[in-house]
Amino acid sequence: MQEKARLLREIEEEFRATAGYTGRRRLSPMVREALAAVPRQEFVPPELREEAYGNVPLPIGHGQTISQPYIVALMTDLLDPAPAHRVLEVGTGCGYQAAVLAELVAQVYSVEVVPDLGEAAAARLRRLGYDNVSVRLGDGGQGWPEAAPFDGILVTAAADAIPEALVAQLAAGGRMVIPVDGPDAGQDLLLVTKGDDGAVRSEPVLPVAFVPLVRPRASTD
Ligand code: SAH
């Protein structure tokens, strides 16, 4: 499909243009293949199908968006996914990022706080044959303790700080990619790594703009 090829070229150009920030000059061939394999038009509302291959975020209802393809590509690339990996995604939304991950790793666990979105995404992923994605409704800030530890954790909504529960559920040698509110205005995409000795390091990769990570009130409030 011509539109998809153009989108992939645009993503590759943006990788080169942002390499000064991200340190990643090239989109890895595996991630490129995964992006090429996922039918993005299936993840946007029917009236926006024509725009599915633009390098822009699009509204998916409930005030939420499907992330910009370049950002999906970058976050996926930063995780250094490998076929045996088990990955946690926080913020399923329409399920597009989960599908891209599902092309690359053994098992994807994705948590969504808006029930309508999570249910629709789970049904869509099933229909498209992504049987290695499990979707759960709830607060992704708590992670998915029963399925931990994860080789990778990808958070697609901006937190005010790196959630402790997610750090705890990251495997030694694992990587987490998460947008976090910056010291002033704006957000930074952070790459958080846990060394084989358990030491946690975090480095800012790129200024970004995500919807906020909702913190559902605990039932005891
Ligand atoms: N991953 C999506 C982007 C989703 S936008 C994609 O592939 O395009 C961010 C999503 O995070 C929204 O659907 C929002 O409802 C969800 N979200 C926000 N706070 C959350 C929380 N605490 N737990 C789980 N999901 C959350």
pLDDT at 57: 95
Q: Mean pLDDT lowest for which of 60-64, 73-77, 94-98? A: 60-64
Is the pTM of the predicted complex or chain greater than 0.95? yes
Distance of CA 197 from the midpoint of ligand 1 (Å): 31
Indicate the pairing of strand 187-194 with strand 170-181: antiparallel
The helix (run of H) or strand (run of E) holding residue 98 is helix 96-102
In 3-state terms the chain splits into helix, strand, coil percentages (rounded to 5) of 35, 30, 35
Average the pLDDT over 5-25 and give the result.
96
C-beta separation of 92 from 112 below 8 A: yes
Class of domain 2-208: alpha beta
pLDDT at 221: 46
Q: Which residue is closest in CA terms to ligand 1's atom 17?
A: 91
Confidence of residue 183 (pLDDT cuts 50, 70, 90): confident
Whether 28 is catalytic: no
Q: Which of 28, 67, 134, 202 is catalytic?
A: 67
Task: Give strand ranges (E) for the chain.
Answer: 58-61, 64-66, 86-90, 107-112, 133-137, 150-155, 170-181, 187-194, 200-208
Average the pLDDT over 14-21 and give the result.
96
Ligand 1 in reach of 163 Cβ (< 6 A): no
The domain segmentation of the chain, as residue ranges, is 2-208
Rounded CA-CA distance 120/101 in Å is 18
pLDDT of residue 219 exceeding 80, the answer is no
Ligand 1 atom at minimum distance from 93 CA:
13
Rounded CA-CA distance 87/78 in Å is 13
pLDDT of residue 63 exceeding 80, the answer is yes
Torsion angles phi and psi, residue 38, rounded to 5? -90, 125
Rounded CA-CA distance 30/206 in Å is 22
